[in-house]
Amino acid sequence: MNPGNEILHGQGFVLIASLFFLAFILELVRRRKIGERFSLLWIVIAVGMCLAASVGFPILFRIAPLIGVVYPATALFLLAFLGLTCLSIYFTVILSQLHRQNRVLAQRIALLEAGGKHAIALPEADV
Amino acid sequence: MSKIGDLTSAPANLERIGHSARRRVLLVLPAYNEERSLPVILAEVRRECPWADVVIVNDGSRDDTELVAQASGYQVLSLPFNLGIGGAVQTGFKYAAAKDYDVVVQVDADGQHLPGEVEKLIAPVLDGRCDVAIGSRFLEDGAYRAGFFRTLGIRLLARIISMIVRKRITDPTSGFRAYGPAALASVAHDYPYDYPEPEALVTLSRRGLHIVEVPARMRARLDGISSIGLTVSIKYMFKVLLAIGLSLLRSDRAARERVREGGVVR
C-alpha cells in the first residue's frame, strides 16, 4: 500500500470508531447512566473525536511541525495524552469534593442516631 | 398552540383551605444566606397565608439564616452543605411527599415571590383543574419585570419551551409554582440540579401532567445586587437549552408509567 492509502484507511477506522463511541455515549445518557453534569462533557468529547477523525487530519499535519514533532501521529498522541491528563485531574477534583461531603454526611448520621439534633446544625465550611 | 389563558377564578375558599382536614398546603422556603430577607418574608407569610404550613430549607447558609429559621417556629430542614436551589427545593418536595400534602408551593426567601399571591396560585390546583400552577410575571401588564436583557432572554426561552411542550408558556424560569400530588411525586423523585425551573417544566409536561400559568406579581430581590447583564443571560439560556435537550434524550418511560398509575412515588 502506498502511504496515501494507509492514511485513508487509518482515518476511516478512527472515524467509524468515534461514531460508535458517540452512539455509545448517547445511549448511556438516554439510559440515565451518566449524570447531568457529565452528560454534556462526554457528548462534547465524543463529538470532538468525530470531528477530529473526519476533518482533523490536515490540521494535525500542520500542528506537528509547530510543536516540534516529526511524526504527525505523535502529535495526536501528545494531544490525546494531555487531554486525558486534564480529564483525570478534573475527576480527581470532583472525587475530592465527594469525599469531603461523604465524611460530613457520615458524621451527621452518627450524631443524628445519637439523638443530638441541635449540636449538629452547624454550617460546614468549604464542602 | 392554544393559549392557556390566565385562570383568575374566584379566590379559594379559606375555610376549605384552612379547616378542612383533607386540604393541606405547604410552603417550601429555600434559603441560602438570606438572613436579611427571610424575616421579612416570614412576616408576610404569617400575615397572608396563616392557613398554610411552612418548611424552611436552609441550603448550607454561612450567615445567620439558620438562627432566623429556627426562631420562626416553623419546621426547618438544614442541609449540611450547599446543594443549590434544585437540591434545596427538592428536599422540601420530599418532605411534602412524605407528609402527604395536597398542594406544595415554592416561595423563595429572597423576596421575589410575594406570599400575598399564593392564594391565587393554589386555586387551580386545589380545584383539581391542573397538576402544576406557575406564577407568571408576563401574563399581566405592569407586573415587575426583570432587567431588559433578562426579560429578552426569558421571552426567547419561553418561545422555545412553548414549542417543546406544545402549550403557551410565558414565564418558564419562574420558581413560584404550586404542585398537586401527582406533580409533587414527579419533582420529589426527579428535579434538576442547575437552573431547574425550565427543565423541570419540560419534564412535568412530558410525563403527562397538566400545567397552567397564573398571573402573579413579583418584586426584585429584597437584598443584594442584581447583576444580570447580557453575557450572563446568554450563558444561562445556553445552559438551559442544553440541559433541556439532554433531558429530552433521556428515557422517561419508568417515570411516565408511575404518573399514569397515579401512584405515590417517594
Does residue A117 register a pLDDT over 50? yes
For B216-251, the pLDDT digits (tens) are: 998 887 775 555 556 677 777 888 888 888 888 887
B168 touches B1 (CB < 8 A): yes
CB-based contact A121 B193, cutoff 8 Å? no
Does residue B264 register a pLDDT over 50? no
Q: What value of ipTM does the predicted structure carry?
A: 0.75
Residue B128: how many CA atoms within 13 Å on its side-chain side? 1
Amino acid at B209: L
pLDDT value at residue B12: 43
- For residue B28, list its beta bridge partners: B55, B106
DSSP code string of B171-239: -TT---EEE-HHHHHHHHH---SSSHHHHHHHHHHHTT--EEEEE--B---SSS-----HHHHHHHHHH
Amino acid at B145: R
pLDDT band at residue A7 using 50, 70 and 90 as cut-offs:
low
pLDDT value at residue A8: 67
Nearest CA in chain B to A34: B250
Question: What's the average model confidence in pLDDT over A55-84?
Answer: 82
Helix orientation angle between B196-206 and B181-189, rounded to the nearest 10 degrees: 120
* Cα B60 versus chain centre, distance: 20
pLDDT value at residue B203: 93
Ramachandran bin of B147, using left for φ above 0, alpha for ψ from -120 to 50, beta for the remaining angles: beta
CB-based contact A127 B80, cutoff 8 Å? yes
Does residue B38 register a pLDDT over 70? yes
pLDDT band at residue A125 using 50, 70 and 90 as cut-offs:
low
Does residue B47 register a pLDDT over 90? yes
Q: Which of B59, B67, B70, B81 to mutate to test the interface with A (most CBs of A within 10 A)?
A: B81
pLDDT band at residue A64 using 50, 70 and 90 as cut-offs:
confident
Does residue B265 register a pLDDT over 50? no
pLDDT band at residue B183 using 50, 70 and 90 as cut-offs:
very high
For B5-31, the pLDDT digits (tens) are: 333 333 344 455 544 545 799 999 999
**Residues 8..67 of A with a Cβ closer than 8 Å to B: which?**
26, 29-32, 36-37, 39-40, 43
Ranges A9-13, A122-126, B27-31, B164-168, most confident: B27-31
Chain B neighbors of A39, CB-CB under 8 A: 246
Chain A neighbors of B66, CB-CB under 8 A: 121, 123
For B48-83, the pLDDT digits (tens) are: 999 999 999 999 999 999 999 999 999 999 999 999
Average pLDDT, chain B: 84
CB-nearest to B249 from A30, A125, A127 is: A30
B61 touches A at CB < 8 Å: yes
Chain A neighbors of B80, CB-CB under 8 A: 101, 104-105, 108, 124, 127
- What percent of chain B lies above the pLDDT cut of 70? 82
pLDDT band at residue B144 using 50, 70 and 90 as cut-offs:
low
Cell of A40: 454534556
CB-based contact A101 B243, cutoff 8 Å? no
The more confidently predicted of residues A120 and B176 is B176
pLDDT value at residue B230: 66
pLDDT value at residue B5: 33
pLDDT band at residue B260 using 50, 70 and 90 as cut-offs:
low
pLDDT value at residue A114: 82
pLDDT value at residue B45: 97
pLDDT band at residue B142 using 50, 70 and 90 as cut-offs:
low
CB-based contact B246 A101, cutoff 8 Å? no
Average pLDDT, chain A: 82
CB-based contact B249 A29, cutoff 8 Å? yes
CB-based contact B81 A104, cutoff 8 Å? yes
